[in-house]
Amino acid sequence: MVEYTSVIVKDKWKVISSLRKFIHAYKTVILTTIFLSVIADIVFIVGGSDFMIYGILILYIVSILFYRLSSRTTFRLSLILLGVMFLEFIFSGTSQKTEKAAVWIFFFLAVGIIQQFREK
């Protein structure tokens, strides 16, 4: 029985190790997917869902910790979101999409500020 459990534990650590290597190998794809899901939430998804907003935000925070991203990256993403909000405002005026973009900008700026405090 003990041998069987140690084999399971060894296999579990192999799976975790291979998963970690996979996540590191596809860093750009994962971060792009997270950011495109934010853009999709702003542009395409009608209505608001706190579950989606906080889910994506938590996923981004986990990726910050896992990849050791700098606050500069988060602020750059905030600037891109500011551009998206500007375009939404130009084309649709004050709308739900513009407000969603503003919410995302607020969250990314807040995460960036907290990140910057941790870097010092």
For residue 66 the two structure tokens come to 């896992």
Query: For the chain, which residues make up each domain, given as ranges?
Result: 2-119
pLDDT band with cut points at 50, 70 and 90 for residue 2 = very low
Q: Which residues contact 6 (CB under 8 A, 6 or more apart)?
A: none
pLDDT of 27-81, one tens digit each?
899 999 999 999 999 888 888 778 889 999 999 999 999 999 999 999 999 999 9
pTM: 0.81
- Measuring CA to CA, which residue among 118, 109, 117, 104 is closest to residue 34? 104
| Amino acid (one-letter) located at 88 | E
Please report the pLDDT score of residue 10 as a whole number.
67
